[in-house]
């Protein structure tokens, strides 16, 4: 058995060998750099379900503290994708995923963003008010 297979054998089955990215939560992005490209199946998205600070999440028109809503779904718009991201996950699409997945990231003056592996995204969605009526 090769060294790579030996190492894979020791990886947890539940994360399919994905790096435990949640350990990096709370880290601020470097202010003097702009991310222009992502690697692998990584996706960077901007939250659309919260206030500009990211501290309050909108649920049914009511803003609640994000700390209270840890076990909930989050919604974000894709702003950058890696080359291995699925073809249907493109810039501008709105995605839904569990709040405890990914790495939330904040840059000064911007809405909060999140880095996710494509495998952590549960679906593409759209706001019901944005749907166009079919006649």
**Torsion sign, CA atoms 78, 50, 117, 32:** positive
Rounded to the nearest integer, the mean pLDDT of the chain is 80
Q: Are 113 and 44 in contact (CB under 8 A)?
A: yes
Q: How far apart are CA 110 and CA 129, in angstroms?
A: 25
| DSSP letters for 68-132 | TTSSSEEEEEEEEE-TTS-TT--TT-EEEEETTSSEEE--TTS--EEEEEGGG--EEE--GGGPP
Of 26-30, 58-62, 77-81, minimum mean pLDDT range? 26-30
Element (H, E) at 5: helix 3-9
Q: Is pLDDT above 50 for 45?
A: yes
pLDDT for res 13: 43
Greater confidence, 68 or 53? 53
pLDDT for res 36: 92
Percentage with pLDDT > 90 across the chain: 39
Selection from 19-33, 48-62, 79-93, 102-116 with the highest mean pLDDT: 79-93
pLDDT for res 23: 67
Q: How far apart are CA 17 and CA 96, in angstroms?
A: 22
Q: How far apart are CA 117 and CA 26, in angstroms?
A: 17
Q: Is pLDDT above 80 for 81?
A: yes
Domains in the chain: boundaries: 22-127
CATH fold for domain 22-127: 10 Kd Chaperonin, Protein Cpn10; Chain O (2.30.33)
Greater confidence, 15 or 99? 99
pTM to 2 decimals?
A: 0.74
- List of residues 6+ apart from 87 with CB closer than 8 A: none
Q: Is pLDDT above 70 for 62?
A: yes
């Amino acid at each position: 058995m090769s060294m790579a297979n030996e190492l894979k054998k020791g990886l947890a089955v539940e994360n399919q060998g994905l790096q435990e990215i949640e350990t990096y939560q709370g880290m601020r992005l470097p202010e003097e750099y702009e991310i222009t490209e992502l690697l692998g199946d990584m996706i960077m998205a901007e939250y659309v379900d919260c206030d500009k600070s990211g501290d309050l999440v909108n649920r049914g028109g009511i803003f609640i503290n994000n700390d209270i809503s840890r076990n909930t779904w989050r919604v974000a718009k894709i702003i950058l994708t890696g080359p291995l991201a699925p073809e249907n996950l493109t810039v501008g699409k709105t995605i839904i995923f569990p709040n405890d997945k990914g790495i939330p990231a904040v840059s000064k003056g911007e809405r909060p963003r999140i880095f996710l592996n494509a495998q952590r995204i549960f679906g593409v969605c759209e706001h019901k008010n944005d749907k166009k009526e079919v006649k």
